[in-house]
Structure formats: structure tokens, C-alpha cells
Chain A
Amino acid sequence: MKEFAYSRATGVEEAVSLLAGGSEARFLGGGTNLVDLMKSGVEAPDLLVDVRGLPLGGVEVTADGGLVIGATTTNSDLAVHPEVRRRFPALSQAVLAGASGQLRNVATVGGNLLQRTRCGYFADTSRPCNKRVPGSGCPAIEGEHHNHAILGWSDHCVATNPSDMGVALAAFDAVVSYETVDGPGELPLAEFYPAVGDTPHVETALPAGALITAVTLPAAPVAARSRYRKVRERASYAFATGSLAAALDVRDGVVHEVRIAFGAVASRPWRARAAELSLTGAPATAESFAAAADAELAAAKPLAHNGYKIPLLRNLVVSVLTELAEEAAR
């Protein structure tokens, strides 16, 4: 592990200017991913700017009924917040489905958005990896990829984004606010994670040195009836094999509004817009739900050993939407 400098920022302006001073500097939130990667040599920053002390914590309800979530809010605080549970239950469920209690107590919302893939080749510095060393190659495509992407991957990278929280945020059109030395900015989550293309090492559209300050969820009445379901190899903490955030508004047996996002299937939380389009205005039946899943998964390109994710996601869509529809009918 390389030696590094550590600074504790007391204000947002100070934090972004401190970071701008380091050639290989990183913001430190909960450190639950970054510090592990530093130990294994995947990350080797020369400066850590600790932002946990910044006044960016807390959840506030906006005038229109949306939420503003501060970037240093811990996963635990986010998950148990009554307004989160009431207005966006799938978000609370998603956060609670991730990691362990100990990790959730320190992990932050901003850090969660920036967590790196759990691809085994990415974590092994003795192997090539286009994400870690651009241009070095991707051994996962021909190698071990049971839990890799089926959607949106390229010949350069087939890794997945491991976040649970991000899947719910994607379903609810979250907007990420950030601060830079040149001033603040915003990115809708749909634009926050760029397509893999030939630059898998470029994982976000954030400007260099930007500090995430908040995540805003616009008001979404449909989200009050929402659910996150995570499928994983064991009941104890594990990254998802496939997951789903969904919200459903059924009126007179017809789907009035629906939100669907997939996790663990792509380099980013995967908003299933084709499925939503297929379903909107359709009868709220298992057949429609299956057709919607198929509409989305038609674009899936399984690798040699992860084709099982297609029936998994299809079954998840049908199962979770059916549950939501049954709840609505009660």
C-alpha cells in the first residue's frame, strides 16, 4: 500500500480546492470500497480528502413532495428516514438490501454512487483490465463472468455496477448535484453513468474533481407503491445476481404509470424504459408484465455463462409487478 496524505475538509469549497491540488486525489466518504481497493493496490491515491465532516448530511422534503438527500447521509440514515420509507419505499428497501449493518452505518450516498465494480479481474492487479489499465484487455469476456453484464456491455468491458441504492435512484429519475472549483452543476442519473463504449475506465460524467453534494428525487406519487427485490447467492450480505426496483400505478385494471430499473445486469443501474413503454396503458396482468420484461430483455446479449440472468430478470419483473398489482387491488 502506497503512502498517501490525508486532509479533513471543513467546507465544500475547501474540499474541492484541496482535491484540485492532488494529482491522484480522492474524496473519502465511508471508505467501505475505496479503502479496500487501496489495500489491494487497485486504487493508489496520493491524497485523501475526507468529506464526512461536511454539512451535507440529511434528507429534506421539497415543496413539491420530492426529496433532497445530502451526499454524506449514511446508508443507514437514508434507509430508516420516515419520508424515504413513505414516499420511496423501494429506495429504503434497496439500501437495506445492500452490505451489512456495520457497512451501512458508515457508507454514504455520494460514495455509493461512485463505488467500483466487483469484477474479480478488476480486483486482481496481476491481470489485465480495461477499467483499471485502459487498453490492457478484458479477460472476463472469455473468462469467469457468471455475474457480469447482459445489457449495454461492450467488447472492452462486461463488468456490472454493484449498487443496490442506484437501482432505486434510477427508477425514480434522481438528479445528482455536485460542486467543482468552477461552481456547481447537476446530472440526471440517466446521464451520470456513461455508456461503456471503448472507455470503461470513465465511469461517470462528473467533471474532474467534482464533489457530489446531494441527490434529488423529484416528486413521484407512483413511487409510494414501489418495491426493491434483490436476488443474491446467500441471505447474508452479498452483491446482487439480479435485482429490480419497480413502482406501479394501476387504475381500473390498466397500468397508468410504471417505473422499472434492473441491477447487476449492466455497467450502470439499468432503467428499463422499453418495458415501461410496453406496459403503460396495458392491462395489469402477468402476461403484460412478461411481455414488458421481454421487450426490455430483447436487447440482452448474454455471455457464455450468464444467460441465466435473462430468465431471472424476466421472472423478477413478473413476480414483483404482480405483487404490486395485487397490493393495489386490495
Chain B
Amino acid sequence: MTDLTESISAPPVGVVGTSHVRLEGREKVTGAARYAADVPFEGLAHGSLVLATVARGRITSIGVDDVLAMPGVLGVIHHGNAPRLNPEAGLLGTGDATLQLLQDDRVPHVGRPVALVVAETAEQARAGADALVVTYEEEEADLVFSADHPGSYTPAAAPEKHKGDVDAELAAAPVVVDQRYTTPQEHHSAMEPHASMARWADGRLEVVDSNQGSFLVSYVLSVLFRLDPGVVRVRAEHVGGGFGSKGIGPQLILAVMATTELKRPVRVALTRRQVFATTGMRAATDQRVRLGADSTGRLRAIDHDTATHTSTIHEFVEFPGEVTNALYAADAIRIRTSLVKVNLPTPTWMRAPGCAPGSFALESAMDELAEAVGVDPVELRLRNEPEVGPISGLPFTSRNLVGCLTEGARRFGWADRDPRPGVRREGRWLLGTGMAAGIYGAGSLPSTAAITAHPDGTFTVGIGAADIGTGARTALVLVAADALEVPTSAIRIDIADSDLGQAWFAGGSRGTSSWTWAITAAATDLREKLADIAHIPADGITGRADTAPLIGALEQRENHAHGAQFAEVAVDPSSGEVRVRRMLGIFAAGRIINPLTTRSQLIGGMTMGISMALHEEGLRDAQFGGQVNGDLAGYHVSAHADIPAIEADWVPDYDPSNPSGVKGVGEVAIVGTAAAVANAVWHATGTRQRSLPISLERILTTTNA
């Protein structure tokens, strides 16, 4: 195994840890950076999706001929003529039926793509798609998820997990909090809608895409279309946000189908409505949390039950119990999940899957426990700090939640807080403060990298990483510069190209740790090679690394990033309006590579958390299952005026299980935010809000003016 002590003791000195603007920042703010739908191609045709309008049923006819007669229309791809796909293809290795587009006449849910109209121009394709008449034989649909749904079952992917005797501890505990918390469907809402271009050129399938991991996408595409993996090349140079929604989008599969059938480069760009309808969402959850504690607030039992939903075609499990795995010590812990299959689109990963909704429930319940036992909420969490993984018993790689809590409390001015709810008024506003802790898994996944030394003293780093707006490209250059002991100006970097080889994707907060490990290992290999030669040849010397064996040799540990968030809110009980006044997040997320972009990403996560707390809710019609607020005017996300004084910072932390000491920051910053806001709303009004979002309707109907 890796020698942990040695790597802890002497983090290298260099550019890592100093702030750097994004390498591509100027291109982005001047509009020169090209996103997937911006890259020009000669002879490009355009595809426009047609989505199912019924909740469930069978396609009985598609009016292809009328559309083929429309100006510019080149073809209509549908289940009758689409290439057959390999049902074994899926992002995580197992077959994912959400990828099986246009394979039969079945409509499993509203919004399922049923055809692609391809035309010379995007406008003609859109006109054709709008005009395409599809008829259906409708079938009865099951559209409403509820915790007591008769079809509820425990999915194999999320079996019951426990330690100790929860029921006995709850029965014996002098204080018990037992509450239900619900979270709605939420949508990723990345700024850049999904877009893909596909063409066949020189015997290869070339794809320009908006995704979170070009290598993985190329691999799954090759399985899906039964191609040799080396045939497919996928690039995603710039990506305007993903948040979990940019794996293999429907636009990509349909673009590949269209270019294969029509022998033309084809671009398919989703409209905003189609993004809502076809690229997944965070599933709604209905959670019951029971906390048993002694009179000092020490936890004897945590029982976390979740009911959630998936589609009828693919089992995706949102797992809020994840947060309960490792946040607090307790004598007994039990995590249970039940799933219901309904005729709705398949949910998917969304920023901090599991932990984001799970922390709303657990951290709201902890606040209720603090009230019940009369212990300060920060102190309550300090009293339940675990020494080792609460269920696993494994040691932590590093854990500084205590630092987050104490430093956060100090900077927020928590010590002066009057714990009584509903007693601070400023004009029509009631004021309150609240806090919550957060946790999200860290770790490294196998990746490859190559670094070439050139005779002129410069280096080229090649790694199949993705920069989805996080600043990954810049962070990786900083790490490479330190590893090679050269200035950043000596390094150029190529990312987001599947031809660069296998690498983990931008997901699970494990991109930076995985990629930096591969880069530092490649740098070591290169330096060894350079030591043996006098002159670098014209085509350079290349060092390579594959971290799979290194990662495979790691001992099992509990590895997580942590955070504590503090919020001050104002609530007008007469109008129901809730406004966040200030927010502070303190995080322990390993070594911070680029403070400038890290702070930005943390603030982004907290902003999305405020949005989750107050605004976001995918509303569906109970009769047809379709979303009735599928645009950004109807689906509200927090924007500038909603985000007041917001601050993110960190305390020392270092993950000894990877050479750069890195943990991810992409997800931990949204974990706990909604609970901190909800707890502050209680402190302002005296009324608990156990359902998200905390809309003005909820305030008006539950709070006395």
C-alpha cells in the first residue's frame, strides 16, 4: 500500500495552492470558446427531436411522408428504421434501457424520444419535428410516486444497512425525534443545453459533444453501436455545466444514428424544454428520520428510511441514506431504501446524489434534536463526532468536520445566537439563523495520463479529463507544473478527448483526485526516463501512467469531504417570502489546488443549495405525467438577486490516499445547504419546514403572520 505518513508530512511547495485564473477564461468571456453546438462542420445537417406526448402506450403511426416532403428535410429516424442498438450498453457497465432509443414502438413515459427529423438547417429540422404527426395507442399509466405505493420494493442496489439494534435503542432513548421530510424532483439546469455533432470520417466515428467524460462516452457509444472502441472518438473541449446530467444524452445517440443512416455530419442540439424532458432529474424523496438520543444529545440511534422512485425501464436509486453512513457516531444506525417504478422519465445523478436530499432530512432532524434536548446545534454535532466510520468501523483518511464547525461558528458569529425561535423582527421580516453539516465521498478512480517533454523545454500533458466549467484544466496544469518542477508557462494541456485514453469522468467529486494522481505518476515516469538520456529527440520523450494498480493497492478507508454551512434568513409571514440574507460555508476538502476556482465552485454549490431550499421543484401533471414548468421561467433557480453575502472558505485538510492530497469540492458544497436554510426559517418563524422547496405558499399555509 501507499505510505500514508510520508505523503502527509511534506506537501510540495509550488504553484499548487495559489490562485490562478482559468487558462481558457479569456476565450470564454470573449465568446471565442466553442461549445459543442458552436463548432462548424462542412456539410452539416441538423436533427430535431420529437418526444412522446402520451404517458404510456404504443406508437401506432408516424407521419413520415408528409415531413419528408417539407423543405430541406433529409430524413426521419424512428423505430422502424433506426439502427439496432446493443442492449448491454450502459454508463456503469450494465445495460441501461434509457439508452435504447427508437428500438421499438413502446412509450414507457412522456417525453421519451420517438423520432429525429434531420434537415439542411436547424430551422427546417425544427419545423419538420413540429409537423411530424405521431399517433399512439394509450395505456393506463402509473404516474404518482408515494411512499405507500403498493409496488414499493427494496432495490438490490440499496440493501438495508445497519449496525446495532436500532429499535431497541430508540425504545430506550429518553429523547426521540421522528419526522418525515420530502424533497421534490429537481433538474440540473446547466446553462449549456445538451448538444452533439457526429460524423463518419476516415473510418472513424467522430463526435463533438457536451459531456462529463469523453472516454467513458466513447466507450459506451462503441458498445451501444457495436463498434470497435478505437473507432469512436469523442471530444468535449468546453462544457457549460453538467451537474450529473451529461453522460450519454439522447441527442448524442440520435446524432450517431442519423449520421450513420444519412451519411452526413449531423448536429442535434436540445431545446431547453427537451433538456428538462429527456436528460433526467433528481428523484423525489420521502424520508423518515428517527433519532434517539440521551439527554445530553449523544445519539443512541439513527434510523433513516427513504422512499423514492425510478422509471419502468431502468432502475436508478437515489440514496439519501448515504449521508447517514458516515456523518455521526451512534450506538445503532439503520439505513433503508424503498423504490417505486412509475411511468416517468428515469431519474439520474444530480449534484451530490443521495447526500443532497439526505442531508436535508438528517440535518433538519438534528436541528429538531438540538431543540428537543436544549443543546446548541453546533455543540450537538461536536458531541456526535465519530472516531471511525460509524457503520464500517474503518478509519478515516482525514476528517476535519470539527474544524469546519468551529471555524464556521466563529466567523458567522454563532456564539451570540439567541436559540429562541420567532423572536427577531425587522419591519415585516422575521429573522433567523441556522446551520447544518455536510459530507460527501472522496477518492480516486483509475485513470491514465501521458506527459511529453519537448526539446524546447516545454511539456504537453494529455489526459482524458473534463472541464465542465470547474476550472479542472487549470488545476491540472498547476499540479503538472509542480510535479515537473517547471513554471506553468512551460506546460500545455490536452483534455476532453477520448483518444487521450482512459480517465475517470467529471463526477462523484472524484475527477481532480483521479486525474492529478495520473498526472503526477506520469511526471514521475517521465523524469525517470529523462534521467537516462542526454538530449530530448525532436518528437519528444513521453512518460505514461495508469493508476489502476496504485489505487487497487490502497487500504479501505472512510474517505469524505466535509463542510458546515451557516445561514441567516428573513421571512415575511404575511407574504410567505423567504430571503437568504447571508450564508457562510466552511469546508474540509483535502488540499486546495486553485483557491480562486475552488471558492467559485463552492459558492456555486451553496447557491444551488439555496435554490434547492427555496425554489426548485419539477412540477408534473398528475394526469399525463409531463412537466408543466419545463423552462427556466417556470422552473426557478436562484439567480443573482437571491444570493446575498455568500462566502466559502476552508480549513486545513489533506487526503493522504492520493499524492496531491486532494478531495473533490463539486458536491460537498450543496450538502447541508437546504437544511441550514430550513433550520434558519424555523429559527425565524418557530415553524418547521419539512418539505422542499420552502415556497411562499408553504410559509403562508403553515406560519402565523
Chain A residues close to B by CB (< 8 Å): 1-3, 39-41, 118, 120-121, 123-127, 139, 142-144, 146, 231-239, 241-242, 308, 311-312, 315-316, 318-319
Give A316 to B428 CA distance when docked, in angstroms: 11
Shortest beta-carbon distance, B54 to chain A, in Å? 9
A328–B94 Cα distance when bound, in Å, is: 71
Contacts of A123 in B (CB 8 A): 631, 634
Asked if A319 and B576 sit within 8 Å, CB to CB, the answer is: no
Contacting pair B642 A146 (CB below 8 A):
no
Which of B253-261, B304-312, B440-448, B622-630 touches A?
Answer: B622-630
Chain B residues near A311: list those with CB within 8 A.
700, 705
Give B607-619 as 1s and 0s: 1 = Cβ < 8 Å from A's Cβ atoms. Answer: 0000000110001
The answer to the question of B494 belonging to the interface, with a C-beta cut-off of 8 Å to chain A, is: no
Q: Is the CB of B633 within 8 A of A239?
A: yes
Q: Kindly list chain B residues whose C-beta atoms are within 8 Å of the C-beta of A308.
A: 576, 696-697, 700-701
Q: In the bound complex, what is the Cα–Cα distance between A125 and B271 (angstroms)?
A: 14
Dominant secondary structure of chain A at its interface with chain B:
loop
A40 and B273 contacting across the interface, CB-CB below 8 Å: yes
User: What chain B residues lie within 8 Å of A312 (beta carbons)?
Assistant: 575-576, 696, 700
- Whether A235 and B576, one on each chain, are in contact in the complex, defined by CB atoms closer than 8 angstroms, is no
Query: What residues of chain B have their CB less than 8 Å away from a CB belonging to chain A?
Result: 51, 53, 123, 126-127, 130, 271, 273, 428, 574-577, 579, 614-615, 619-624, 626-631, 633-634, 636, 638-642, 695-697, 700-701, 705
B636 pairs with A316, CB closer than 8 A:
no
* Chain A hits for B640, CB < 8 A: 236
* Contact present for B123 and A1 (CB under 8 Å): yes
Cβ-closest chain A residue relative to B635: A120
Please measure, in the bound complex, the distance between the C-alpha atom of A311 and the C-alpha atom of B697, giving whole angstroms: 10
Q: In the complex, which of the residues A120, A127, A242 contacts B619, with contact meaning CB atoms closer than 8 Å?
A: A120
Q: Are A126 and B574 in contact (CB under 8 A)?
A: no
Decide yes or no: A127 and B130 within 8 Å by CB, A120-B619, A231-B577, A233-B636 being known contacts.
no
Quick one: given A139-B621, A233-B695, A239-B633, are A121 and B628 in contact (CB under 8 Å)?
yes
In the bound complex, CA of A144 to CA of B624 (Å): 11
Q: Is the CB of A143 within 8 A of B641?
A: no
Q: Could you say which residues of chain B place their CB within 8 Å of the CB of A235? A: 579, 641-642
Question: B620: nearest residue on chain A (CB-CB)?
Answer: A144
CB atoms of B623 and A234 under 8 A apart: no
Bound-complex Cα distance A121 to B577 (A):
26
Tell me which residues across on chain B come within 8 A of A3, comparing CB atoms.
Answer: 123, 127
Cβ A120 vs Cβ B629 within 8 A = yes
Instruction: Please report the C-alpha to C-alpha distance between residue A238 and residue B614 in the assembled complex, in whole angstroms.
Output: 14
Contact of B621 among A39, A144, A236 (CB under 8 A): A144
Of B271, B622, B630, B639, which is within 8 A of A143 by CB? B622
Interface centre among B614, B633, B701 (most CB of A within 10 A): B633
Provide a sorted-by-A list of 26 A–B residue pairs whose CB atoms are within 8 angstroms: A1-B126, A1-B130, A2-B127, A2-B130, A3-B123, A3-B127, A120-B619, A120-B634, A121-B628, A124-B626, A125-B130, A127-B621, A127-B624, A143-B621, A144-B621, A231-B696, A233-B615, A233-B636, A234-B615, A234-B636, A235-B641, A308-B697, A311-B700, A315-B574, A315-B705, A319-B575
- Given B428, B575, B614, B701, which contacts A234 in the complex, CB threshold below 8 Å? B614
Q: Nearest 4 pairs between A and B by C-beta?
A: A120-B628, A236-B639, A315-B574, A126-B53
- If A118-B633, A234-B641 touch, whether A316 touches B626 (CB-CB below 8 Å) is no
Query: Closest CB of chain B to A265's CB: distance in Å?
Result: 14
Note all chain A residues with C-beta closer than 8 A to B639.
234, 236-237
Taking a contact as CB atoms under 8 Å apart, the answer to whether B626 and A231 are in contact is no
In angstroms, Cα B615 to Cα A97, docked, is 19
Query: How far is A126 from B130 in the complex, measured between Cα atoms in Å?
Result: 10
A128 to chain B, nearest CB (A): 10
A278 to B614, CA, bound (A): 37
Q: Taking A118-B633, A127-B624, A143-B628 as contacts, is the C-beta distance between A1 and B638 under 8 angstroms?
A: no
* C-alpha gap A47/B123 in the complex (Å): 17
Instruction: Name the CB-closest residue of A to B697.
Output: A308
Given A234-B642, A308-B700: A315 and B619 interface contact (C-beta under 8 Å): no
A124: chain B residues at CB < 8 Å are 626, 628, 630
On whether the beta carbons of B638 and A236 are closer than 8 Å, the reply is yes
Residues of chain A with a CB closer than 8 A to B579's CB: 235
Among A39, A143, A238, point to the contact of B636 (Cβ < 8 A).
A238
B130: which A residues are within 8 A, CB to CB? 1-2, 41, 125
What is the bound-complex CA distance between A126 and B271, given in angstroms?
15
Contacts of B614 on A, CB cut-off 8 Å? 233-234
A241 CA / B614 CA spacing, docked (Å): 15
Whether B576 pairs with A231 at a CB distance below 8 angstroms is yes
A235-B641, A312-B700 known; 16 new pairs, CB 8 Å cut-off, are A1-B123, A1-B130, A40-B273, A120-B619, A120-B634, A125-B130, A126-B626, A143-B628, A232-B577, A233-B615, A233-B636, A234-B642, A235-B579, A236-B638, A237-B639, A316-B574
- A143 and B633 within 8 A (CB): no
Instruction: Specify the chain B residue showing the minimal Cβ separation from A41.
Output: B130
Q: How far is the CB of B455 from chain A (nearest CB, A)?
A: 51
Q: Is the CB–CB distance between B641 and A236 below 8 Å?
A: yes
Contact B575 A236 (CB under 8 A): no
Closest to B631 in A: A123
Residues of B close to A242: CB separation below 8 A: 575
Question: Which residues of A are found within 8 Å of B695, using beta-carbon distances?
Answer: 233
- In the complex, A275 Cα to B328 Cα: how many Å? 56
- C-alpha gap A167/B51 in the complex (Å): 38
What is the distance, in angstroms, from B638's C-beta to the closest C-beta of chain A?
Answer: 7
Closest Cβ of chain A to B12, distance in Å, is: 43
**CB-CB nearest in chain B for A143:** B621
Residues of B within 8 A of A316 (CB): 574-575
Question: Which of A118, A121, A124 has most B Cβ within 10 Å?
Answer: A124
Q: Which residues of A sit under 8 angstroms from B623, Cβ to Cβ?
A: 139, 142-143
Which residues on the A side are within 8 Å of B628 (C-beta)?
120-121, 124, 143-144
CA–CA, A139 and B271, complex, Å: 24
Return A237 CB to nearest CB of chain B, in Å. 7
The distance in angstroms between the C-alpha atoms of A108 and B474, with both chains bound, is: 44
Q: Which residue of B lies closest to A236 (CB)?
A: B639
Taken together as a complex, chains A and B put the C-alpha atoms of A322 and B224 apart, in Å, by: 66
- Minimum C-beta distance from B314 to chain A (A): 23
Tell me the complex Cα distance, A1–B631, Å: 17
Per the bound structure, the CA–CA distance linking A319 and B639 in Å amounts to 27
CA distance A29 to B290 in the complex (A): 58
A242 to B624, CA, bound (A): 28
CA distance A200 to B428 in the complex (A): 38
How far does the alpha carbon of A1 sit from the alpha carbon of B127 in the complex, in Å?
A: 5
Closest CB of chain A to B615's CB: distance in Å? Answer: 5
> Once bound together, how far apart are the Cα atoms of A125 and B641, in whole Å?
32
Residues of A within 8 A of B615 (CB): 233-234
| Min distance, Cβ B641 to any Cβ of chain A, angstroms | 4
Residue of B nearest to A323 (CB): B428
Determine the distance from Cα of A127 to Cα of B130 in the docked complex, in whole angstroms.
14
Bound Cα distance A126, B575 (Å): 34
With A123-B631, A143-B621, A319-B574 already in contact, the answer to whether A236 and B697 are too (CB < 8 A) is no
Q: Which residues of B contact A125 (CB under 8 A)?
A: 130
Closest to A235 in B: B641
Q: Which residues of A contact B271 (CB under 8 A)?
A: 39
Residues of B contacting A118 with CB < 8 Å? Answer: 633-634
A319 to B701, CA, bound (A): 18
User: Per a CB cutoff under 8 Å, which of B273, B575, B627 touches A315?
Assistant: B575
Min CB distance A73 to B, Å, is 24
Tell which of B123, B127, B428, B575 has the most Cβ of chain A within 10 Å: B575
Q: Which residues of A contact B697 (CB under 8 A)?
A: 146, 241, 308
Q: How far is the CB of B73 from chain A (nearest CB, A)?
A: 13
**Which residue of chain B has the shortest Cβ distance to A128 in the bound complex?**
B624
Whether B127 and A127, one on each chain, are in contact in the complex, defined by CB atoms closer than 8 angstroms, is: no
Output the least CB separation between A96 and chain B (Å). 12
| Distance of B309 from chain A, by nearest CB (Å) | 18
Residues of A within 8 A of B428 (CB): 319
Contact A236 B642 (CB under 8 A): yes
B residues in contact with A234, CB < 8 Å: 614-615, 636, 638-639, 641-642
